Amino acid sequence: MTKFDMIVIGSGSGLEVSSEAADRGLSVAVIEHGPFGGTCLNRGCIPSKMLIHSADVMETIRRAELFGIKAQVVGVDWDFIIKRAVDTVDSDATAVEEGNHQHPNITVFKATGRFVGHKTLEVGDERIMAETIVIAAGTRPRILDIDGLADVPVMTSDEALRLPKQPRKLIIMGGGYIAAELAHFFGALGTDITIVYRGSRLLRQEDDDVASRFTEVYQRRFNLLLNAHVRRAQRNNDGISLEVTQDGQAHTLTADAFLLAVGRVPNSDVLEVEKTGIETDSGGFVRTNEYLETNVSGIWALGDIVGRYMLKHSANLEAAYVAHNIFNAADMVAVDYHAMPHAIFASPQVASVGPTERVAREKGLNYVVSTYDYYDTAFGASIEDKDGFVKALADKESGEILGCHIIGSEASMLIQEVVNAMRMRLNVRAITQSVYVHPALPEVVQRAFGSLPA
Ligand SMILES: Cc1cc2nc3c(=O)[nH]c(=O)nc-3n(C[C@H](O)[C@H](O)[C@H](O)COP(=O)(O)OP(=O)(O)OC[C@H]3O[C@@H](n4cnc5c(N)ncnc54)[C@H](O)[C@@H]3O)c2cc1C
């Protein structure tokens, strides 16, 4: 049994804590069974956004005619598109792993870890323990129990981001952001997309108006089966066939590829966290207090496995708090999740911060709301964005900004100024009384807040 000062399980945002501990002179074990850098680098944010940029370029070319440019695409170099992303993330992952090996205070365990007793883990043939343990083991794609699924070629986002051959026809099951982003990626590059989703609207976590508009746009772009359930999967000559029911009607769909994008499950089961006495919620997410300490003193958890906001910037924020709280036991700070934003890099883009209007209503907040269309601004009209809008929410009495929901071009960037204002707990005047570059796209944000009823 080898004893360390700290064990960190997972090399995603967990590395923020392990590197600080190692730099302070602690002996640290880092356990990672996959490539270093975790989901974001290897199977998530980075490769998906690199691939989606190719889709965005294609879309720009296809829309060129709207601006008087006659352009023709002569081909898609699929190998190049995939290789650009894969080479970048693989070399980054190698560099991160190398950096960990080289640190004199870090011991890397390249194997699956699982708890076997109090603060004790088995990794490969070894047993290790530490008084301080950080669980940052993330999540994996959920696989559904569908009749026949085991016999058909099915992929998740893990494989979809490294697919050696572009599918001709792809069925995507799911209606969340991963389904939406991957439909855009494959669809813009020419794959025939069918989305099968059990809900009545895509992106149902978003503000209702945004989700409805997004669903309308995807209805124009793709074959969309809403309120639909996959009953059975079968292999056929071309690939797969799915039996789907929608509003009581049976359909048979065929495709050469099938992507499951139906959520993520926490890796707490593989880790057997119960063996060290850690409590999880009904979904298997590790329970923590506001400082991110689990019910076992000295064991901390952060990132997706905690299941609060399953986003990289949230995992990084939590890692900074865990590092602070471990090294400042007398001065612990509760995580400030105020104004946690997110963006969906589909087409159209979606970005959001703060409660949706439905949540604001359910919480009984005293709010005012206003919506402004991109097309009613000079830049929105010049780029022909006819679907985009910004929805702003503020407190009726104090004017404090409560939230903002955007669908349309560059939504992921437009949201940032609202996040910055909200993190400072500012009033709408921080936006309405500022000076905006004319005629730039952020004017649509200013007009949305400027149109709030007084
Ligand atoms: C397709 C996709 C696109 C995404 N796009 C975005 C985006 O645009 N923006 C955004 O903010 N977020 C995005 N995310 C989410 C983001 O990737 C995660 O929120 C983030 O990576 C979580 O970090 P983490 O450190 O908690 O976990 P992870 O990064 O998942 O790290 C956990 C690590 O633990 C390892 N591990 C797990 N169990 C064990 C074990 N028992 N033994 C050893 N090692 C183990 C895993 O191999 C993994 O490397 C995306 C996710 C996906 C899937």
**Alpha carbon separation from 166 to 45, 90, 188, 218 (Å, rounded):** 20, 21, 12, 20
For tokens 């883009």, name the residue: 349
pLDDT digits 0-9 by tens, 326-335: 999 999 999 9
- The reported pLDDT for the residue numbered 171 is 98
Atom of ligand 1 nearest to the CA of 310: 19
Q: For residues 157 and 196, give the distance between their C-alpha atoms in angstroms, rounded to a whole number.
A: 16
Looking at the predicted structure, is the pLDDT value of residue 454 above 80?
no
Q: What is the mean pLDDT of residues 104-116?
A: 98
What's CA 313's distance to the chain center, in Å? 10
Q: What percent of the chain shows pLDDT beyond 70?
A: 100
- The reported pLDDT for the residue numbered 389 is 99
Q: For residues 138 and 303, give the distance between their C-alpha atoms in angstroms, rounded to a whole number.
A: 6
Q: For residues 411 and 207, give the distance between their C-alpha atoms in angstroms, rounded to a whole number.
A: 14
CA of 237 to the centre of ligand 1 (A): 35
Is the C-beta atom of 33 inside 6 A of ligand 1?
A: yes
Tell me the pTM.
0.97
Is the C-beta atom of 315 inside 6 A of ligand 1?
A: yes
What residues are annotated to the active site?
A: 438
Is the C-beta atom of 39 inside 6 A of ligand 1?
A: yes
Looking at the predicted structure, is the pLDDT value of residue 281 above 80?
yes
- The reported pLDDT for the residue numbered 238 is 79
- Quick one: CA dihedral 66, 71, 76, 81, positive or negative? negative
Let me know: does 102 contact 36? Beta carbons within 8 Å: no
Atom of ligand 1 nearest to the CA of 345: 8
